[in-house]
Structure 1
Amino acid sequence: MTVAIYLDRLRPAGASLRAMALLLLLLAAFFISARGFSSILLLDNIRQAAPLGVVVAGQALVLMMGRLDLSVGATASMANIVLCSIFNSDMANLVPAVTATLAAGALVGLANGIMSTKLRIPAFLATLASSLIIAGLVVFFTNGSPRGAVPPAFRVITEGWLFGVAPYSALIWLVLLVALLLLVHFTMLGRKMILSGANVVAARHSGIPSDGLIILSFVLCSVLASIGGILLSAITGMASIGVGNNFTLDSIAAAVIGGALFAGGVFLPLGAMAGALILFFVQSLLYVLALPPAAKFIVQGLIIILALALANLKQERSQ
């Protein structure tokens, strides 16, 4: 493969550039309202947006396969409960706590993938059902009163900064995005995933194991949702039922803003990152402007409409 092909794959897509432009406009409005630019404030917001950003990356991966995962919020919440209960404020439990949390997420993704492929249940219904099951199991095992917390030393992954310059959580988010970028756009496995997402029937006729790739995307999505739950747990410091529930709709909205298509066949890590930051800075801007929480949903809806309208306009012009 030539260098030119590699460089072409690294070139940002138009949807990603539009999302970045929208993000820059939002940042300008945010800092004007905050009466001055502050790099520390910018990085601190990125640090707090990292949990959502990781979940959005997983959602974008499933959308690339032409599917939708409505269980990411419940999975992130489950990760919080599992992590905190096993940790129990003791850093000595680091390995079993993190391992069990990621394994639980992987099992959720495996179940979602099997229901979507082998049982032929529409993905949004299968993942909706799994989210309800997860929520019920969490309440059952905790009796509605979750216990446990992450030790203070573990919270460095979201509270700490590398050399005082970059938040660790932002770096974790960046590493995961780069890993997904390399997987999807620079490996044969990733190319097969894109082809399966664009046209699953044609991919099957070409001998591509599409069902296995769809299952893989769900597993990766749920593992990323668990990582998002881990980061969120490091921010909150304690177990809380439903702490990640907002991630479900927010991840879909952010992925769509970033250029993801419900029809599949597209994976834009830069756009996914921009979409997550757009949603987070919308909340920050509304807070600075002292607007009611209900305004968040209105603004999010308008941003999604704008992103889809621009995407459709671009598509019509290219035809």
Structure 2
Amino acid sequence: MNEVIAQLRPSAASLRALVLLVVLLAVFFFALGRFSPTLALDNIRQAAPLGVVVLGQAIVLMMGRLDLSVGATASLANIVLSSVFAGNVDNMALALAATLGAGVLVGLVNGIMATKLRIPAFLATLATSLIIAGLIIYFTGGSPRGSVPPGFRAITESWLAGLVPYSAIIWLVLLAATLFLVHFTMLGRKMLLSGANPVAAHHTGIPADALVILSFVLCSLLASVGGILLSAITGMASIGVGNAYTLDSIAAAVIGGAVFAGGVFLPLGAVAGTLILFFVQSLLYLLSLPPAAKFIVQGGIIILALALANIRQGKSS
């Protein structure tokens, strides 16, 4: 029991992200002039697609890698899902299978390139994102067709008992699943060890390459789920609809405490980082600031998060 409590206790990095989120929420509702739980939950509903993608990016970062193809993978999921659905809810099983299957394939390719071909992960996944973008344009002719039926869009548009968005519940379930996988299973602990010290993991008989491939498959699979949720919000196929998720997912994971050296997985921090980015965008919109302000503020938040982490690390060393 003590071990379970220790694993569930938020890390210092996650707590910093949560404090920053609380401050941001206070500023947001002060600017709004009133507190609205419904508005807060609606923002969470809209942030869920990015939040799911961030969980996948955090898993790859845990392994000391970086995935620059998550945005393209989410966009691919949008195209495949909408095309196979073709507006008919009877096609749901095939549409979901094709979309998730495409995500698994992308992850396998990324993992094999990063391990068997020894291509640096950020270059391999950058190449993958370009190939995906090219394939989307080739097969759609630049004008994608298809749509998501209203019956399926309920996963992002409807609320459970009128209280909690279904997309928020899906995000929470995936958060719990990734937390359990990494911190409460032998497989997850091997992944943490491998990410922290690949050489030591290899000497202890841990199949480091296989775990890296698994991390990329999980990342692309979660990116596809994020693309599915995003498609349920937009309701239609759109080229490049998820491209912004690449940089946003990295930023959110870093704000939440992820480190590029690997060996750290903070799902609660990833959630906080996602909501920080999303509420920053909402606040800027509320204040009628130009779109360029988003990038300036986002960059400032990343610098602040990294500076606080480095200061704390310097004091403890």
Question: 1:114 and 1:26 mapped to 2: Cα distance?
Answer: 40
Q: Deviations over 1:199-247 (max 9, x none)?
A: 1011001100000000000000000000000000000000000000000
Alignment partner, residue 159 of structure 1: 157
User: Does the alignment pair 1:237 with 2:215?
Assistant: no
Say yes or no: does 1:168 pair with 2:160: no
Aligned position for 2:80: 82
> Which runs of 5 or more structure 2 residues have no equivalent in the other structure?
none
Q: Secondary structure of the equivalent of 2:119? A: coil
State the shift of 1:6 in Å: 1.0
Query: Aligned-residue CA RMSD in angstroms?
Result: 0.3
Aligned partners of 1:101, 1:40: CA distance in 2, in Å?
31
Q: Which residues of 2 match residues 131-150 of structure 1 at below 5 A? A: 131-150=129-148
The residue number in structure 1 matching 2:253 is: 255
- Give the number of aligned pairs: 317
The share of aligned pairs that are identical, in percent, is: 75
Q: Letter of the 2:26 partner, please give it.
A: A
Structure 1 residue 43: deviation in Å? Answer: 0.2
Aligned-partner Cα distance in 2 for 1:100–1:33: 44
* Structure 1 match to 2:289: 291
**What residue in structure 1 maps to residue 182 of structure 2?**
184
Could you tell me which residue of structure 2 aligns to residue 48 of structure 1?
Answer: 46
5 Å-filtered alignment, 1:60-139, equals 60-139=58-137
Query: What letter corresponds to residue 128 of structure 1 in structure 2?
Result: L
Gaps of 5+ in 1: none
Cα shift readout 1:74-121 (whole Å, capped 9, x = no counterpart): 000000000000000000000000010000000000000000000000
Question: For residues 261-272 of structure 1, what are the structure 2 equivalents within 5 Å?
Answer: 261-272=259-270
- 201, 204, 209: which one pairs with 2:202? 204
Work out the CA distance in 2 between the residues paired with 1:210 and 1:19: 30
SS in 1 for 2:290: coil
- Compute the displacement of 1:178 (Å): 0.3
CA distance in 1, matches of 2:32, 2:147: 34
Q: Does 1:218 align with 2:216?
A: yes
> 1:75, 1:67 → 2: CA distance?
17
Instruction: Map 1:19-38 to 2 at 5 A.
Output: 19-38=17-36
Query: What is the Cα deviation at residue 141 of structure 1?
Result: 0.3
Give how far 1:20 is off.
0.2
Cα distance, 1:275 vs structure 2: 0.3
TM-score by length of 1: 0.99
Q: How far off is 1:57 after superposition?
A: 0.4
Distance in 2 between residues matched to 1:193 and 1:213, nearest whole Å: 6
Aligned amino acid, residue 64 of structure 1? M
| Structure 1 moving runs of 4+ over 4 Å | none
